[in-house]
């Protein structure tokens, strides 16, 4: 619990630093003060409301045991087994197979899955995926995930807005256009690096925790392989439009590879599968 709050505090401080740096480059000391105030307000808003915003972005619809009985019962059983409160359960009408968890704590958590993932996976594989998402809830890192997704997008927008329209110093003079261009490039990159540092280690931990929760590491390994294979070439338009939210998904939903893969917020899928298969062999020996 303490570790989670420490991570949240570091994240908020990093966000404020990025906002302040962008403001300084674009508007001098006055711009920095304005950006710091904006960053503080964004931190407050993201803490309380970012989960609702993300669910709204993806047009997620809440479901229950009447509208999606098998899916909701599965989440209920896994939550009870893990000693977690029952989260709100959502469906996203998208062909790409994917899923994510959000919320500021286990008492205010939500899990969401695309209609595509329900069609592609078997019940056993889907159980592994939902256990992974509930492991995010249990580890209390869903707040960090959602906040970083929301604020990274805001940092990028702030830098682009300032770079396009120019900044002013405290005496009303235009700032150096080189600084404005630098802010447009560096600020989104810095926000992306923060997300990478948070996301990659978190996914490995959720894989391990989800495999333990379901008692079936091979099911999650099989699900990851299927999601990766079926998801290629099937765009998730909301993620493409709002790429800062991509790190919330169980597998990177964005198109592109090569150099882009070096900066992915997700670890290599093959390595994740290999670790889960090693857990399966260890369980078999035990």
- Active-site residue among 95, 123, 125, 133? 133
User: Residues with Cβ < 8 Å from 136, sequence gap 6 or more?
Assistant: 101, 142, 145, 202, 206
Has 133 been annotated as catalytic? yes
> Starting from the edge strand earliest in sequence, which strands make up the sheet with 61-62, in order?
61-62, 88-92, 110-114, 99-102
State residue 160 phi and psi, 5-degree precision.
Answer: -65, -40
CA-to-CA dists, residue 192 to 10, 15, 186, 222, angstroms: 15, 11, 10, 29
b/e code 23-46 from CB counts within 10 Å (16+ = b) = bbbbbbebbbeebbebbeebbeeb
User: Residues with Cβ < 8 Å from 106, sequence gap 6 or more?
Assistant: 84, 85, 87, 137, 138, 140
Active-site residues: which are they?
133
């Amino acid at each position: 619990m303490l570790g989670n709050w420490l991570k949240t505090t570091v994240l908020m401080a990093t966000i404020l630093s990025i906002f302040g740096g962008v403001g300084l480059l674009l508007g001098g000391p006055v711009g920095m003060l304005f950006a710091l105030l904006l960053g503080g307000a964004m931190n407050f808003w993201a803490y309380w409301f970012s989960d609702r915003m993300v669910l709204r972005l993806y047009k997620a619809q809440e479901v229950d045991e009447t509208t999606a009985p098998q899916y909701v019962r599965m989440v209920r059983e896994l939550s009870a087994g893990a000693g977690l409160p029952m989260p709100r359960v959502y469906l996203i009408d998208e062909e790409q197979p994917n899923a994510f968890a959000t919320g500021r704590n286990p008492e205010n958590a939500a899990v969401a899955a695309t209609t595509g993932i329900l069609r592609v996976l078997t019940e056993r594989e889907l159980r592994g995926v939902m256990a992974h998402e509930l492991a995010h809830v249990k580890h209390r890192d869903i707040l960090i995930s959602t906040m970083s997704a929301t604020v990274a997008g805001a940092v990028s927008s702030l830098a682009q807005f300032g770079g396009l329209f120019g900044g002013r110093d405290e005496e009303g003079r235009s700032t150096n256009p080189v600084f404005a261009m630098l802010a447009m490039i560096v600020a989104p990159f810095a926000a992306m690096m923060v997300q990478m540092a948070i996301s990659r280690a978190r996914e490995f931990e959720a894989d391990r925790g989800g495999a333990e929760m379901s008692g079936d590491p091979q099911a999650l390994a099989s699900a990851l392989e299927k999601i990766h294979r079926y998801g290629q070439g099937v765009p998730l338009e909301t993620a493409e439009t709002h790429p800062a939210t991509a790190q919330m998904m169980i597998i990177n939903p964005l198109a592109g590879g090569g150099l882009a893969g070096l900066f992915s917020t997700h670890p290599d899928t093959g390595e994740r599968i290999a670790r889960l298969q090693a857990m399966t062999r260890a369980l078999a020996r035990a």
